[in-house]
A and B are shown apart, each in its own frame.
Chain A
Amino acid sequence: QVQLQESGPGLVRPSGTLSLTCTVSSTSLNSGSYYYNWIRHHPRGGLEWLGYIYYTGDTVYNSKPSLQGRVTMSLDNSKNQFFLKLTSVTAADTAVYYCARDPYGGDSFFDSWGPGILVTVSS
């Protein structure tokens, strides 16, 4: 059974860069069958899809104005890890960040999730 696990700093300074890693177990990123996503859950708010990356390195990001130009995803197939960078963070980026797998074409549902990591933006 696939497992995903987020890791990274729990505290980021305003205007800094949020950097997270998702480590995938029990399946290979470059099997080509899945798309790997980042999703966040704002405190007292909703879930927000940030984007996905495919094993080829192809990415699609949420084009929401508040995210545009700030999100970058990458991966390391040899380590079975993929990454999220979010630049110029503000308090509005405080959230629980999840990595999740999409089994169908990068535009479907999410069949496996990590447990999430709380990232707080604060000085």
Chain B
Amino acid sequence: EVILTQSPGSLSLSPGDGAALSCRANETISRNRLAWYQHRPGQAPRLLIYGTSTRATGIPDRFRGSGSGTDFSLTISRLDPEDFAVYYCQQYGTSPRTFGLGTTVE
């Protein structure tokens, strides 16, 4: 299965800062089929990005996804207090679908 490695494990930031999260795969992700999720404690995970760079419905443009092949990133500009959460990447180019271990933005 495709292994996704997210880095860093955690980021210590303040509201208004920018954040850069990385997701690296151990093999090429077919058709750049990569998604990002935000997970706040006690809540349902929330889809942010799919297809590497397409924002899901209602996601503000301060969230930007990019990358290709094996290297992908999520950039969050101007952190809002509600953005402090855990972020996961997920690939759906190869079965079974797999997830990274997450990056905590705190």
Residues of A within 8 A of B12 (CB): none
How many residues in B have their beta carbons less than 8 Å from beta carbons of A? Answer: 23
Q: State the main secondary structure of chain A at its contact with B.
A: loop
Q: State the main secondary structure of chain B at its contact with A.
A: loop
Q: Is B60 an interface residue (CB 8 A)?
A: no
Residues of A within 8 A of B46 (CB): 113
Q: Is A14 an interface residue (CB 8 A)?
A: no
A98 pairs with B50, CB closer than 8 A: no
Contact of B44 among A47, A49, A113 (CB under 8 A): A113
B50 pairs with A108, CB closer than 8 A: yes
Contact with B along A41-57 (1 / 0, CB 8 A): 00001111100000000
Residues of A that sit less than 8 Å from B by CB: 4, 45-49, 62-64, 98, 100, 107-116
3 closest Cβ pairs, A-B complex: A109-B35, A47-B99, A113-B44
